[in-house]
Amino acid sequence: MSHPVKTHISGTAHGFREDYKKLGGASSSRRSFLGVLLGAGASGVGALLSVPLLRFLLHPLVRAKAQVSWKEIGSVEELASVTSPVKKLVKVEQRDGWRRIVSEKAVYVYRDSNGHLCALSSVCPHLGCSIAWHDDKNKFICPCHNGQFAADGKLLGGPPPRGMDQLKSKVEGGKLVVHYQTFKQLVPIKEVIA
């Protein structure tokens, strides 16, 4: 009687060894599947993280090819009677990462000595305050530090390092359009920053 039990036990142990060998094969295929899955996931995350780096590296090339955005100020007929600077608002689109911000910026339209319509930025080149035209004093005055400018934007006095920044403008289809830009402050020469 004891002999059949031994056979049964040894048969059972033999069955365990066979099952273990089968499981070992399944375990190694699971490991390789998990390794492939982990490698694919790491590659995907690496690819996603490289997108901002590529955008940063390629930005100068893309920016150089971007077209200049011209914003409409008003019709030439409407601006025909301009004798002193007139404040106009333009909608400007700015990008902050993936966020798009549309805001209104003030510009001043005036006639130069040749009678052409020109546009000035209302941002003071000193510390960025908004400059306003004063008809009664016949000049622009910055309210922050009393910077004073002539009707054509030339510096008359105060702490600003240069005159008001002139914006590129042109007449297109009977409309005055302007290329709005932001300039570096506290420097004597106009430098575009955006």
Q: Evaluate if residue 65 carries a pLDDT over 50.
A: no
pLDDT band for position 100 (cuts 50, 70, 90): confident
Q: Taking the model in full, what pTM does it have?
A: 0.65
> Which residue type does 132 have?
A
Domain membership of residue 128 as a residue range = 71-179
Which of the listed residues 45, 66, 87 is the one where a domain comes to its end? 66
Q: Give the model confidence (pLDDT) of 120-176 as tens digits.
A: 999 999 999 999 999 999 999 999 999 999 999 999 999 999 999 999 999 999 999
What is the tally of structural domains in the chain?
2
| Domain identity same for 156 and 76 | yes
Is residue 73 within 8 A of residue 86, CB to CB? The reply is no
Distance in angstroms (rounded) separating the CA atoms of residues 51 and 32: 29
Place of tokens 């920044």: 165
Q: Is the pLDDT of residue 86 over 90?
A: yes
Predicted confidence (pLDDT) at residue 109 exceeds the cutoff of 60: yes
In a domain, 30, yes or no: yes
58 and 111 part of one domain: no
Strand order in the sheet with 166-172: 71-75, 175-179, 166-172, 117-121, 99-111, 86-96
The span from the CA of 58 to the CA of 182, in Å, is 22
pLDDT of residue 8: 47
Residues 61 and 78 in one domain: no
Cα–Cα distance, 155 to 189 (Å, whole number): 13
- In the numeric block, the tokens 């409409």 are attached to 72
Residue 110 host element (H or E): strand 99-111
Residue 12: predicted pLDDT: 56
